[in-house]
Every structure is written in C-alpha cells, then in structure tokens.
Structure 1
Amino acid sequence: MKIAISANHAEKSQNVAAELTDKLKKAGFDLDCDQPSVVITIGGDGTLLNAFHKYSDRLDEIRFIGVHTGHLGFYTDWRDYEIDLLVESLIYETEQSVSYPLLDVILSYSDGQPDRKYIALNEATIRNIERTMVAEVYIRDEFFEKYRGDGLSVSTPTGSTAYSKSLGGAVVNPRVKAIQMNEIASINNRVFRSLGSPLIIAEDDWIRIDLKRDDKYQLHIDHFVESQVNLASAYFKVSDKQIHFASYRHTHFWRRVNDAFIGNM
C-alpha cells in the first residue's frame, strides 16, 4: 500500500502529519505522493477538496481518508487524537470502500476554443460578473425555463449539505445518483418567471445552461474560482467517476448530517 499525506498549513495539522508520517514509516508503509493508493488528508473539508482535485485523474485507483483537526469536517472520519487507531486500521484493512457520486461539467465557447471539462465533489456555480445573469435552461435538451438572477448552482448529493443547502436545496443521500440545481436570487414577477425551486435530476438526464453571449462569467468548481469569457453554454451530468472513501471507519451519511447541523443523535 502506497500512502500520501496531505495536510493544511495550520500548526496542529502539521504536527499531526509529522506524527502520522513517523508512525506509518515505523509500521512499514510506503509513503508516495505521486502514485498513492490511499490519500490521508489532515485538516478539514477544504483540505480533502484540495486533495480530491490534485488526484482527480486517478480517482479509480485511490481511496481517501480524512483526519479532522478543526471544528467541523463533513468528509473527515478520524480525529487528530486517533492516529494510533488509524495506523492499526491501515495494517489490518480490507481494501473496501464507500463510493459517492461526482459532477461532470463541460463548458462550450462561442469563439471556437475547445470545450473544457471539470469534475466537482460538491458543486459547480455560474455567475455573471457584471450584471443580472440571463440563461436558458434545458433538461435532456428540452427547453425548461428562461432564468434571470444572480446565478445557478448544480450540486452532487454530498454537496447538497454545502452551498446547495444554504440556497434552500434538499439534502440528498449519496446513494441516490442524482444532481441538484438551485437558483441564486432569481427574479420572479409578472414579466420574468422561473420555477424558483430546486431541481433534482436523474442519473441518465443532464442539464444544459445556454448563456447570453459576450458577457463575463465566473465559474466556481468546489472552492476554486475561474473567470470565463466567450462562454456559450454549460453542461452538467452525474459523472461516470466516483470518489472512494476507505470504509472501515466511514461515518453513516445521516449521522454526518446530524453531527454537522443538529448534534443530538
């Protein structure tokens, strides 16, 4: 087993990473950041998101483990004081995993440049930088609505507990292979009208958003942000890829939700 450790820059996380590195070496594990089969993140959800995108081209070969050193971590199953238990679990582990759906995003441009493809663990969001965003929304290439507002966000089931939830979206169990679209401050009156409710799209469907040409847009993929010019359309679907978490200490999804938002389970 080849293991990579990815920690944020906080002093506590760096200390835990040093301790874990030492214990893994003493246990005979091979530490390899280039070709790992297991990636251990130390910090919080942002640290895991960084590692996910770093290894996004090798998701079929990697299982992730999250060690939590902060106040709240939705993707982290271990605490910083459980390093000995984690190493012991790695020694006797069975290579089983729990898998969650991901989101494919494909952008097309009006100036002839090649399409760009992205993958998201939580969500992808498009906003117009300069003015109200105007977009036509298609579901499986059938026109659904004309949207006006601040932007549109499409999330995965695990991402339904992140930005999507703050937009009024439903919390979706990741065993449901679906994506969810939420409107951001939509304009709804006698002249302009969109559904105004979250849309949950099945695994074999897709969403296409056609955008007003020559406007400037901002694309958010998880916690990364890119400016986009000459953007013509964005296509969203459930990805063929999945993220895999080592399952010997993987917290049940609804317990995660309870711990994160309620805290009395």
Structure 2
Amino acid sequence: MKVAIYTYPSPDSTRLRDMIMKGLKKSKIDYDDVEPDIVITIGGDGTLLSAFHHYIHQLNHVRFVGIHTGHLGFYTDWRNFEVMELIDSLTNEGAQSVSYPLLDMRARFADGHVIHDIALNESTVKNFSKTMVCDLYINHELFERFRGDGLCISTPTGSTACNKAVGGAVMDPQIVGFQLTEMASLNNRVYRTLGSPVILGADNKLTVRLNKGSGQVLTCDRLTNMVESPNQLVQVDYKVARNKIQFARYRHTNFWQRVRDSFIGDMG
C-alpha cells in the first residue's frame, strides 16, 4: 500500500501530517504522493475537494480518507485526535471502498476553446451583471428557456452544498444521476420555467445553450479552477461521469447520518 497526504497549510494540519508520517514509517507503509493507493486529506471538505482535483486523473485506483480539523464535513470521517487509530486501520483493514457518482462538464466558448472537467460537488453557470438567458435541452430536446441569476448542476453528494442553498433537493448518493436547480428564475405571464429542481438519471444529458452576451461565469466545485473568459460562453454539456470517487471504507459515515448531523443535530 502506498499513501499520500494532502493537507491545508495550518499549524494543526502540519502537526497532524508529521504524526501520520511517523506512524506510516513505524507501520512500514510506503509514502508516495505521485501514484498513491490512499490519499489522506487533513483539513475539511475544501481540502478534500482540492485533493480530488489534484488526483483527478487517478480516480480508477485512488481511494480517499479525510481527517477534519474543524467542523464535521461531508467527506471527512476522522477527527484530529484519531490519527493512530486511522494508521492502525490502514495496516489491518482490507481494500474495501464506497463510491459516489461524479459530474462530467464540457464547456465550449465562441472562439472554439473547450474546457472539460469533473465535479465532485457541483458546477454553476451564473451572470453577475445582468439576467442570464439560456435554453435548456434534455437529451437534445428543448426543455425550457431560462431567465434568472443562474443554474446549479450538482452530484448526489454535492446536493447538500450550493444546490441545497438555492432550493434544491437532497439527493441519495445511491442514485446514479445529477440534479439541475434554478437560481432566482423569472416566472410571470411572459416568462415561464419549471421552477423546481430536476433530477436526471445516469443515461441523461443536459445541455445549456446561452444567448449572445457577456458576463457569464462558469464554476466547477467553486475552487481555483473557476473559469472566466472574455469570449462568450456558448454551451455547457453535463452528464454522469464515467469515473466515481472512492473512499476507503475503514470507517465511512453513512450519508444520511451526515445529513442529520449537519442540518438537524441531536434530537434527544
């Protein structure tokens, strides 16, 4: 087994990284941050998102384990005081994993430039300067003309993030699909949209075709790979990605337990 550590630069995270490195050496587990089997992230969900994109071309064989140093995250299972227990699990447990669907995004600009990326949480298309107008196609059939602030297209696990904040549904990650949620759509006697979140299955394709204009901003997981272009964003295609993210199942928290803990809390 080869292990890599991906960490947020903070004193606490650095201290934990040093502890893990010593534990790996003592347990005779190889450290390899180029082609690892396990990636341990230290920080929070943001750190794990960064690690995911760092190792995005190795998803077929990389499994992730998250240690959170702050509030409970959706992708981080271990606390900062459980380092030795985690190392013991790496040594003694098998290669079991739990996997979640991802979102494939392909964007095309007026100059022919194409961006292809994969989202763990969501991709958004927004316009901060004026109303965004676009046509939405589902499997190449026109579904609606959207006018509003923007669109959020999320994975099942990402449905608890930006998607939920803009009124989307929380989606079971056992469903292989993705979700479309409108941001502040204009609905009156002249302009009409469905106005409700739409959940699309594994074999569906969503196409967003934007009207002429500028100011659109395209994001993918709201990280540093946010894309702004002086050229017009013409079209964005979405579908379920071929790959999935895999988490090492040493002690993986149930998704609905995470939802309850994060949004409802102790009911006792």
When normalised by structure 1's length, the TM-score is 0.97
Residue type of the partner of 1:253? F
* Paired amino acid for 1:245: F
Aligned-partner Cα distance in 2 for 1:27–1:203 = 41
Aligned-pair Cα RMSD in Å: 1.1
Q: Which residue of 1 aligns with 2:76?
A: 76
Structure 2: tracts of 5 or more residues without a match = none
Q: Does 2:238 align with 1:236?
A: yes
Give secondary structure in 1 for the equivalent of 2:209.
strand
What letter corresponds to residue 176 of structure 1 in structure 2?
A: I
In 2: Cα distance, 1:20 partner to 1:88 partner? 11
Q: Distance in 2 between matches of 1:64 and 1:2?
A: 12
Aligned to 1:148: 147
SS of the aligned residue for 2:71 comes to coil
Q: Does 1:172 align with 2:171?
A: yes
Q: Name the residue aligned to 1:253.
A: 255
Retained in 2: the 8 A contact 1:125–1:152? yes
Structure 1 residue 68 displacement after superposition: 1.0
| Matched-pair contact (CA < 8 Å) for 1:110–1:213 | no
**1:1-16 equivalence runs, <5 A:** 1-16=1-16
In 2: Cα distance, 1:211 partner to 1:97 partner: 39
Please give the secondary structure, in 2, of the residue aligned with 1:249.
coil
SS of residue matched to 1:154: strand
Provide runs of 4+ in structure 1 moved above 6 Å. none
Structure 2 partner of 1:86: 86
Shift of residue 72 of structure 1?
2.5
Letter in 2 for 1:158: T
The secondary structure found in structure 2 opposite 1:264 is: coil
1:217 & 1:2 partners in 2: Cα distance? 42
The alpha-carbon deviation at position 206 of structure 1 amounts to: 1.1
Structure 1, unmatched stretches of 5+, are: none
Residues paired across the two proteins, number: 264
Asked if 1:123 is matched to 2:93, the reply is no
Q: How far off is 1:61 after superposition?
A: 1.1
1:61 counterpart SS class? coil
Shift of 1:192: 1.0
TM-score by length of 2: 0.96
SS at match of 2:81: helix
Q: Secondary structure at the match of 1:81?
A: coil
How much identity, in percent, do the aligned residues show?
Answer: 49
Cα shift readout 1:163-218 (whole Å, capped 9, x = no counterpart): 10111111111110010011111111111111111000011001100001242321
CA distance in 2, matches of 1:109, 1:165: 29
Deviations 1:87-142 (A, max 9, x none): 110001211100000000011222233x2211000000011243110000010010
Q: Which residue of the partner structure matches residue 49 of structure 2? A: 49
Paired with 1:125 and 1:25, the residues of 2 have a C-alpha distance of: 42
In structure 2, how many angstroms separate the alpha carbons of the residues matched to 1:247 and 1:71? 21
Q: Is the 8 Å Cα contact of residues 13 and 42 (structure 1) preserved in structure 2?
A: yes
Does the 8 A contact of 1:218 with 1:227 survive in 2? yes
User: What is the DSSP-based 3-state SS (H/G/I as helix, E as strand, rest coil) of the residue aligned with 1:236?
Assistant: strand
Aligned to 2:227: 226
Q: Deviations over 1:198-257 (max 9, x none)?
A: 000011001100001242321111122220322110001111110000012101111111
Output the CA distance in 1 between the equivalents of 2:112 and 2:86: 50
Show the counterpart of 2:25: 25
What is aligned with 2:205? 206
Alignment-derived partner of residue 132 in structure 1: 131
Mapped partners of 1:94, 1:177: distance in 2: 26
In 1, Cα distance between equivalents of 2:106 and 2:167: 25
User: Counterpart of 1:259 in 2: which secondary structure?
Assistant: helix
